[in-house]
Structure 1
């Protein structure tokens, strides 16, 4: 049918263009943020592209939902401004008839959003956290750059090293270590050192060779100077993450269903809410796209974007309420998304009744 073909073609073209623009903007912002993390020492520089890919996959469902919503509003809004909608209405096509071609065009995108939210979202978050933890769990000595003072992860130690010429990241020469705690300040310098990973699997130990140790007692100011041939310093401790410590964002959807705690249910409310919200936004977009062809303005697009921001924030707010025990999972989904569906249907009915009334008025005048 000409009507369905025209609407679907216009909608697909608008969706593709909108998605490309949003991806370009969001990926540029993510790249800048990721480079900042790499410069600050939070992630490894060689993992920037990989981390950018994981982050983009995690945010792709939101970008797809927003692109689909903007495409519906932009396509139907253009048809209003070019008086195409007036022709369709005069031909007996009501506004509710646009729901079917919009859904037929959008259901593959909604399916992709569901797969991304339920499957790819936790996997991407898990891989992102693993990349950061893998980099952070390296020894403090292996993270320092030659000739640069480096602060340890806990902020209690300052390292300065010169690497050996054999490119071994576990060995260094001319090592300087400044340690501070509540009771004492210790300065250790040595001609060389290496990382011992085998003596204690729960710790990384820095073995210093040929140096001296200056210790200042903060209580009475006593200075102690000692020399050593071998000195061992604990520079890192491993703490295994238990299943209870796993973030719900990294847990598969089936695991969340098997462990229905408040945080797990809150994560389910967000995942299912984003999918339901993408469907409700399609109906809202049809109702919000109406505009007056005699007024060259884009107020409908501004209101639509404002509605998307409010709806998305409400999804996050419902997640916080479920996590805090104020709402249950069913109550959050039915309350928020049921109300959004009712609002979309009411807006669609109001637009359709207004259009029918105007057509009848013109017919009576004729």
Structure 2
């Protein structure tokens, strides 16, 4: 049908433009947040773009749902404004007949959302956790940054090196503060370099002094040296021990009845159900009112989207904490949203109007003959 193909083409243009804008906004916000986390030592600064890519990929189900919702709203609102819907209604068709071309356009997007929510989302979160864990387990040498105080992996040493050489294994003005058991040590040297002795790495200091004191005692020992070697920790290559529920596969979540796993599963299923419900809601709320303008209708629809996804996040936390069961939450939120959307759509399709009956009592006066 010509009308169906034309509306699908317009939906594709609107969806593509909205997707580009939303993806750009999310990428910018994610980049700012990731750079802030990298500056606090959560990620390796060189992995900022990789972490940003994984984070945006995990946010794509929400971005696609919102892009689809806005595309349906904008296209149908434009049709109301240009009186195309009047022609459509005049031909004997209603709002419900628009669901066919909309679903034909939206089903590939829904399939992509399913794949992202159930397969790509846990994979992306897992890669982010791997990068964070690898950076936290890096060795002492990798932690050293020129001009910055850095703590060792086990937290018992603080390093400071003023590098003015392109060689990463050579530095000047070295400072090491150590706190081991009941002994505190401060070591400073004019220069230092890395030497590999057997299986271990040593930071060899030259021309410096060492200050040592026992905790709780006033005695202090100061010694000078020409060459001193301090063993530094190597990279920890052990597997990641902390596995959050967001990085578990969907099959692993289904095999466990842990409330935390069910909360994550409700979030992934909710992303798919919400995307489908937004198609129904988009058709139901689309329209234009010359008195308030087009922005008011889009603003109202945006509030619906925000409220829906806030309930998704809130419901996930409720299921994880055991305050709400898994099945009642899915049925209560998404089932209620579907029913309300269909009732709203049926009201507008059939022009149902709620009218209150007015009972007018006519008082008649009878005049008695005088």
Q: Could you tell me the TM-score, scaled by structure 2's length?
A: 0.84
The verdict on how the C-alpha distance between 1:338 and 1:327 changes in structure 2, with shifts beyond 3 A counting, is same
The verdict on how the C-alpha distance between 1:148 and 1:293 changes in structure 2, with shifts beyond 3 A counting, is closer
Contact 2:157–2:178 (8 Å) recurs in 1: yes
| Mapping for residues 1-366 of structure 1, pairs under 5 Å | 1-152=1-152, 157-162=157-162, 167-169=167-169, 172=171, 174-180=173-179, 185-190=184-189, 191-192=191-192, 194=194, 199=199, 207-209=203-205, 212-226=209-223, 230-232=228-230, 235=233, 238=236, 240=238, 245-293=242-290, 295-354=292-351
Contact 1:141–1:159 (8 Å) recurs in 2: no
* Inter-partner Cα distance in structure 2 for 1:324 and 1:288: 34
Aligned residues: 351
1:329: how far off? 2.1
Contact 2:15–2:67 (8 Å) recurs in 1: yes
1:88: how far off? 1.1
**Unpaired stretches in structure 1, ≥5 consecutive residues:** 358-366
**Unpaired stretches in structure 2, ≥5 consecutive residues:** 355-370
1:102: how far off? 0.9
Contact 2:143–2:151 (8 Å) recurs in 1: no
1:162: how far off? 4.7
Q: Deviations over 1:13-42 (max 9, x none)?
A: 111111111112111222222333334443
* Inter-partner Cα distance in structure 2 for 1:123 and 1:197: 40
Contact 1:175–1:193 (8 Å) recurs in 2: no
The verdict on how the C-alpha distance between 1:198 and 1:131 changes in structure 2, with shifts beyond 3 A counting, is farther
Q: Could you tell me the TM-score, scaled by structure 1's length?
A: 0.85
SS of corresponding position for 1:298: helix
Contact 2:139–2:153 (8 Å) recurs in 1: no
Q: Deviations over 1:52-101 (max 9, x none)?
A: 22112111111000000111111111111112112211211111111111
